[in-house]
Amino acid sequence: MAPRVFRFAPSPNGYLHLGHALSALLNGDMARAANGRLLLRIEDIDRTRCRPEYETAIYEDLAWLGLAWEAPVRRQSEHFAAYRDALERLTAMGLVYPSFESRGEIARLVAAREQTAAWPRDPDGVPLYPGTAKQISHDERRRRMAAEPYALRLDMAKALARAGDLHWSETGRGPSCETGQVPARAEQWGDVVLGRKDTPTSYHLAVVIDDALQGVTDVVRGEDLFWATGVHRLLQQLLDLPVPTYRHHRLIRDAEGRKLAKSTKATGLRELRAQGVTPAEIRKLVGLKLKPLRQRE
Ligand code: GLU
């Protein structure tokens, strides 16, 4: 049987903290226990927020934790052609349309709608797309695409009609203890952005393309991405991609109970290392047992 393939996929937009350590170590432990492979993927599509020094720090911090991953590391910024190709396939299926409102305009549209009734929000609390770009005529679309910035959105209603009911297999737990065969419920996200005029992908699209291209069989990541899996499952179905098994793990929270957003003195791996904390103590801090043995060396 082919070995199972795990991956840790950080974004180099800050230094790693205890939340990343839990995710990376859990992937490492599971790969080891399954005699599987561990990949590292650098999710750097947002060129404005990602920096080379953060990427270098990721390699250093993970090696310090005792992790070993396969080379070469996949960097998303080097694979825009693969994402563009997938976006073109979805466009050819009639499932993608451009919207032209700025973030400010979208916020104003939502505020106007909320004068009468609450406007729906996605699982991250972001209002669903309120605009009417789907109704713009073909000619006007072409004219405006040449002249204005735009976002490329998935026509969720059409995509769901085409894909039918979908589930994914969850071996961890969702925020309300969902496990087993979980209904995808991609409609919670509305017409999600899949790319922009100057970036031919979004997180959702890049992650499903990469997991498929890299042969990932097991996605192990934080519970904050639990419901995003519904969009991923939908894109896999539309693009005819294999479906990994998912395991979402608990998040590490700060003293106020919030999920860790950036590394601080109390939670940053570099800071903890400088204070003399050992990798074994990091395992303990994130609630993992001592390093398990390999099944077969
Ligand atoms: N790059 C994402 C993050 O740093 C993780 C993506 C994933 O594991 O699917 O939050």
**Residue that is written with structure tokens 């026509």 in the block:** 155
Give the span between the Cα atoms of 144 and 36, in whole angstroms. Answer: 49
Q: Is residue 24 in contact with ligand 1, taking CB distance under 6 Å?
A: no
- Ligand 1 centroid, distance to 96 Cα (angstroms): 24
Both structure tokens of 130: 């309120």
Which of 189, 234, 195, 225 minimizes the C-alpha distance to 83?
Answer: 195
Q: Which residues have C-beta within 8 Å of that of residue 97, sequence separation ≥ 6? A: 133, 134, 136, 141, 152, 153, 155, 191
Token digits of residue 76: 């998303």
Is the minimum distance from the CB of 10 to ligand 1 under 6 angstroms? yes
Q: What is the pLDDT along the chain (297 residues), one digit of tens a residue?
A: 899 999 999 999 999 999 999 999 999 999 999 999 999 999 999 989 999 999 999 999 999 999 999 999 999 999 999 999 999 999 999 999 999 999 999 999 999 999 999 999 999 999 999 989 999 999 999 999 999 999 999 999 999 999 999 999 999 999 999 999 999 999 999 999 999 999 989 999 999 999 999 999 999 999 999 999 999 999 999 999 999 999 999 999 988 888 888 888 889 999 999 999 999 999 999 999 876 555 443
H or E segment to which residue 147 belongs: helix 138-147
The CA radius of gyration of the chain, in Å to the nearest whole number, is 20
Is 247 touching ligand 1 by the criterion CB < 6 Å? no
Predicted confidence at residue 254, as pLDDT, reads: 86
- CA distance from start to end of the chain: 17
In short, whether 288's Cβ falls inside 6 Å of ligand 1 is no
The reply to whether ligand 1 has any atom less than 6 angstroms from the CB of 225 is yes
Q: Among 5, 7, 11, which residue has the most ligand 1 atoms within 8 Å of its CB, making it the best to mutate? A: 11
- pLDDT for 292: 59
What pLDDT, on a 0 to 100 scale, did the predictor assign at position 290? Answer: 76
**Would you state the pLDDT for residue 297?**
39
Atom of ligand 1 nearest to the CA of 224: 10
220 in ligand 1 pocket by Cβ < 6 Å? no
d(CA 130, CA 258) in angstroms, rounded, equals: 29
The protein residue with its alpha carbon nearest to ligand 1, atom 2, reads: 10
Question: What is the atom index within ligand 1 of the atom nearest the CA of 43?
Answer: 1
pLDDT of residue 293: 56
Q: Which residue has the tokens 């432990």?
A: 29
**Looking at ligand 1, which atom is closest to the CA of residue 207?**
9
> Can you spell out the DSSP letters for 171-182?
SS--TT---EEE
